[in-house]
Chains A and B, each alone.
Chain A
Amino acid sequence: MTGILLRSLARPFYERHIGLLAFVCFFMFGIVEPSQIISYHLSLILAALQSPVFLGLIMLAWLLYTLKSISFTRQLLSEPSHEFIYSLAALPRLQQLKLFIIYQVVVQEPVLIYALMMTGVAIYHQWWLTGLAILITQIVLLAFAAWQYYLTIQARQPRWSLVFPGVQLPAFYPLFYIQKIFADLKLVLLATKIFGWCAIVGFMQIESATSDVRIPLLGFAFALLGHLTLIFEFRKTEDTQLDWTRALPWSVGYRWVLLLLTYSLILLPEILVISVRFPEWYAGPVAWWSGTAFCMLLHSLLYRQTWSMDQLIRQGFVLFLLFFGMATARFYLWGAGITMGLSWILMNRNFLRIDPSAPKT
């Protein structure tokens, strides 16, 4: 039974997130000389163990990872192809929880390994409380995730959920996407926005952050990277639940504008944070222009006959590096203009040529 669970849930998790994990792996191990990897990580771990703020940030990242895995798993469980997993509800409660804890251990393996390394170092230095805190955090995260899966299987709907009761927005196409987030992607939204806020506010701690708009934009680049899942889910919704809108009397240009409006709404929190924290008026418009261009190009790149999350992650990282470079070189306005233009060309060229199709997950 564990094997089936791992094959049907854990494997898709890693397949879907291989790009992101590879990226993190590269940043953790690829940028250091092989001979210095151990000393580099040892000093990184020591710094984390000695600074409560640093350790807190690491624990926040672990929490986001767990929330992401819960969100992904619940999404899979809602698909007809995974309905058979609901038959686990017939097992005794403890057995179900045990299965889900094993599953979560597998999914959380990269985080667990690093957390165990940190615990080892803490014990070696006799920082018992810190070591214990790390262990307890991991156990709580594992138990929390397993409990969420258990509730999902029992009632086909978890009791713990960020619900927005009775919200019925006007019948306006961009709001269909927003409602999609509130209905199915609340955890993804929460994780994306927390990550975005941390990235922007983190960069704003740099000394020249209030006089040079490039600094918040660099933080914004990381925040935009965090939106890859939302972009993918939007495109997927377009081809599954919204494919009937292809028969509506809308030009491709109008559809493009509607998408632009959608991403403007999605990026509003980050744009507001930048506007409030940066003293000059132009910071908000610059963030809007460059941020929507980033999302629009990635969305338009997905108008292909075959498309997948892996593809999007790869393209997302390339665009992130370009965005980062353009911001550093003060080329953000023109760069975003070119990006926006490219997104229009791609959508205009491909939208009517392709058929709605299920993505490769």
Chain B
Amino acid sequence: MIVYPNMLSLQKVSKRYQTETVLSIDQFQFEKGLYWIKGVNGAGKTTLFKVMSGILSFEGDVSFENVSLKNNPVDFRQRVSYAPAEPIYPTYLTGFQLLRFMQRIRSANHQQINEFQELFNTNEYSNQPIGTYSSGMLKKISLIMAFLGNCPILLLDEPFITLDVTSVRHLYSLISDRLQTGATILVSTHQPLESVENFPCRTIGIQEKTLVYL
């Protein structure tokens, strides 16, 4: 098996739901940078992200900098942050509770929460229970949770849906900041992904259950 030490690498990754194979990726490597993951509905984008973040079980392995998700699940998860397309959190918790929770897990400083809250304008409602949020409000909390700390891999599943225009702009600036630190960012979206300054966006499609450069 070829190991690419500085890359996010997928080796013989296969995911099945009951008898239906959804993903079957022999080998694929992501270098540092921005990737646009494209695919029709049901192609397996969300499944791919959930597999790579360790939420779903799968066959094969995913590794980054010689850290394998299968062999070192805790170390690998420390390096990956995932923002779901349709976030679901306990409706009885407040957004701020979740942010504080994630801050401690990602060893982020409190200043970062304040900055992101100000950027996405979530201060007004983050002390309210999540059950009272609109989908856009919830999306912002979920994105802030993903950006807290300094994870070198960010998996953003449909990050732009339900966001207002200003927040989309702020999200692009956050992506740009994180790319400058050498992160690998995978974004799945049905909208055209703009190239971030100095960082060309590479487009990857999910076709016939595997990843291909487009």
Residues of A within 8 A of B (CB): 168-173, 176, 179-180, 182-184, 237, 240-244, 246-251, 352-356
A171 to B148 Cα, complex, angstroms: 15
In the complex, identify which listed stretch (B2-10, B27-35, B87-95) lies at the interface while the others stay far away: B87-95
Say whether A250 contacts B57, CB under 8 Å: no
Does B85 touch A at the CB level, under 8 Å?
A: no
Interface bits B55-87 vs A (CB < 8 Å: 1, else 0): 111000000000000000111011010101001
A324 to chain B, nearest CB (A): 35
| Total number of B residues with any Cβ neighbor in A under 8 Å | 28
In the complex, identify which listed stretch (B96-104, B161-169, B182-190, B200-208) lies at the interface while the others stay far away: B96-104
A180 to B53 Cα, complex, angstroms: 25
Name the B residues within 8 Å of A354 (CB-CB).
57
Does B105 touch A at the CB level, under 8 Å?
A: yes
Does B136 touch A at the CB level, under 8 Å?
A: no
Name the A residues within 8 Å of B152 (CB-CB).
none
A197 to B167 Cα, complex, angstroms: 52
Interface residues of B in 117-155 (CB under 8 A from A): 127
A243 to B50 Cα, complex, angstroms: 10
Say whether B94 contacts A251, CB under 8 Å: no
Name the A residues within 8 Å of B101 (CB-CB).
171-173
Does B54 touch A at the CB level, under 8 Å?
A: yes
Residue of B nearest to A242 (CB): B90
B99 to chain A, nearest CB (A): 8
| Most central of A241, A246, A247 by chain B CB within 10 Å | A247
The 8 closest A-B pairs by CB, nearest first: A183-B92, A171-B101, A249-B77, A249-B78, A171-B100, A247-B53, A241-B90, A171-B97
Known A-B contacts A168-B94, A171-B97, A241-B91; A352 and B80 likewise in contact (beta carbons under 8 Å): no
Residue of A nearest to B84 (CB): A244
Residue of B nearest to A356 (CB): B55
A151 to B93 Cα, complex, angstroms: 24
Known pairs A183-B90, A246-B54, A355-B57. 20 more at Cβ < 8 A?
A168-B94, A169-B97, A171-B97, A171-B104, A173-B101, A176-B93, A183-B91, A241-B88, A241-B89, A242-B90, A243-B55, A244-B55, A244-B82, A244-B88, A247-B80, A247-B82, A251-B73, A352-B57, A352-B73, A355-B56
The binding surface of chain A is classed by DSSP as loop
B110 to chain A, nearest CB (A): 12
* Of B75, B92, B105, the contact of A184 (CB 8 Å cutoff): B92
A355 to B47 Cα, complex, angstroms: 11
A90 to B80 Cα, complex, angstroms: 49
Say whether A180 contacts B92, CB under 8 Å: yes
Name the B residues within 8 Å of A353 (CB-CB).
57
A316 to B81 Cα, complex, angstroms: 37
A249 to B77 Cα, complex, angstroms: 5
A240 to B91 Cα, complex, angstroms: 11
A169 to B74 Cα, complex, angstroms: 27
Name the B residues within 8 Å of A168 (CB-CB).
94, 97, 127
Say whether B88 contacts A246, CB under 8 Å: no
Name the A residues within 8 Å of B82 (CB-CB).
244, 247
* Of A171, A172, A247, A356, the contact of B77 (CB 8 Å cutoff): A247
A244 to B75 Cα, complex, angstroms: 17
Name the B residues within 8 Å of A244 (CB-CB).
55, 82, 84, 87-89
Say whether B56 contacts A179, CB under 8 Å: no
Name 14 A/B residue pairs within 8 A (Cβ), A-sorted.
A170-B100, A171-B97, A171-B98, A171-B104, A176-B90, A180-B92, A183-B92, A237-B90, A240-B88, A244-B82, A244-B87, A244-B89, A247-B54, A249-B78
A243 to B74 Cα, complex, angstroms: 16
A249 to B75 Cα, complex, angstroms: 7
A237 to chain B, nearest CB (A): 7
A250 to B89 Cα, complex, angstroms: 18
A248 to B97 Cα, complex, angstroms: 16
| Most central of A169, A176, A180, A353 by chain B CB within 10 Å | A176
Name the B residues within 8 Å of A184 (CB-CB).
92
